[in-house]
Structure 1
């Protein structure tokens, strides 16, 4: 499944638009190389968490403040290009590391 379509199934529209750097819901996601990279990365992280836990858990993890990311939402950290930080936090989450 296409990353944009997958993310639209996992996340609220506003968060997907935010990842894509868009404000208009009629504009197609992934228009720039940077937004495409963010969308691909977010979809990979969501799929990883979904495979380990559930789709609902992936949704909650991406849209909830995360202590390992300085209290920021993983979605916001992805928008900021903090891919390594988000990936490390996601891997610790799925491996059961509780800090």
Structure 2
């Protein structure tokens, strides 16, 4: 199975990526590499032929269309989100755009 994981460089997403690759699944890690992401979290699988990384924002529909066309995933695990409460207070627009509109664009793609 080819799995696309959004937010795959974050704490939870990277654990999913590492586990899926260890179980023999092909994984496309789609992450915008914002404040909560770190590619060191997936360093253990970065050289695996089962792993691909795409730096993109889920709010970017054209990027999503390109990634879906290039990788043709069988399933999507959507973990990209603005989830830190303090950041949602400081920047509620980003919170809504990522969590609502980003999810909308992902579903449309």
Question: What is the TM-score normalised by the length of structure 1?
Answer: 0.26
Larger radius of gyration: 2
Higher helix proportion, which one?
Answer: 1
The normalised TM-score by structure 2 is 0.25
Answer 1 or 2: higher relative contact order, Cα 8 Å, separation at least 6. 2
Would you tell me which structure has more strand in proportion to its own residues?
2
